[in-house]
Amino acid sequence: MLRLVAARIALGLVSLLLVSLAIFAITSLLPGDAAQEQLGQAATRETVEALRRNLGLDQPGHVRYLRWIGGLLQGDFGRSLVNDMPVAQLIGSRLPNSLMLAAATAAVSVPLALAIGTTAAMWRGTAYDRAVSMLTLSVVSVPEFLVATAAVIVFAVQLRWVSALSAAADITSVGQFFRVFALPVFSLCCVIIAQMVRMTRAALIDQLRAPYVEMAVLKGVGPWRVVLTHALPNAIGPIANAVALSLSYLLGGVIIVETIFNYPGVAKLMVDGVAQRDLPVVQACAMLFCAAYLVLVTTADVVAILANPRLRHG
């Protein structure tokens, strides 16, 4: 079992190394650079070239990549080309806000999705199950930017219940916390809950069709005990993957949501870095998102290995 877990972790590290190469290559293909953005269109060619040499942008790509990846291995994310500040400091000032948003979204979406998915699997084929399937399929088809825009129009502009902008620094009470995070969490939860419900329902239905569940039903075991005692423990692996994949979708959705609501998080920092061609900031933020995704997927694999003896013994 330890060898399997170590193999999953090693595979995640190799994947992260390949992702770093892809991120560096893609960001290097962005048109323009930080020197041109800082000096503006009126700057002469000589001035731009001198600033590019000062920022190290004139060096070959492989040299810049080795220097960048070497700094990452030492915990050095480099310096911002625009603000002339350590990238780690910029991310550190925004990371708590993004973690707070992600934690609030997970705290709402995971219990609610597991409860809906479990009950839909128990009462499969009923009107409740059909309504859940139709609603989740409809919500999955709607992109999160449309949900966020509609939420702003309805709840912020028309009803004026909450503000259209979310600023984490404005939180001074529990009520203010709900007002700040209501629209971002609602926008992210819609798609995440729908995806998680569908995958949880499918995993449980697969277990409820197994012979051991049929034997338990024939022995007179109640439906809730069948699900919680027999089916749910065997479905932990697929459900963990469902939760991990749904929360990993949060990493992409949070970029759009933070931009729409002007939320001061890491995703908003990365979007601003792209606009300013601040490559160290963009690369560090992208690596952070990819690392979080790999941690979620690797954790789901480890949970599946621990929960399923067949994966441990071939």
- Tens of pLDDT, residue by residue over 253-312, are 678 888 888 888 888 888 888 887 788 888 899 898 888 888 888 887 787 777 766 666
HSE of 99, CA atoms in CB hemisphere, 13 A: 8
- Tens of pLDDT, residue by residue over 166-219, are 766 666 677 777 877 888 888 888 878 888 898 889 888 888 888 888 888 888
Cα–Cα distance, 144 to 188 (Å, whole number): 7
Q: Are 98 and 266 in contact (CB under 8 A)?
A: yes
- pLDDT category, 38, cuts 50, 70, 90? low
Q: Which domains does the chain have, with CATH numbers?
A: 88-276 (1.10.3720.10)
pLDDT number for residue 312: 60
Q: Among all chains, which residue has been given the structure tokens 């931009």? A: 259
- Tens of pLDDT, residue by residue over 55-96, are 677 777 788 888 888 888 888 888 887 787 899 999 998 888
Task: Name the packing angle between helices 266-276 and 236-260 (round to 10°).
Answer: 50
Q: What is the percentage of the chain residues whose pLDDT exceeds 90?
A: 8
Amino acid at position 205, single letter: I
Here the tokens at position 133 are: 């399937």
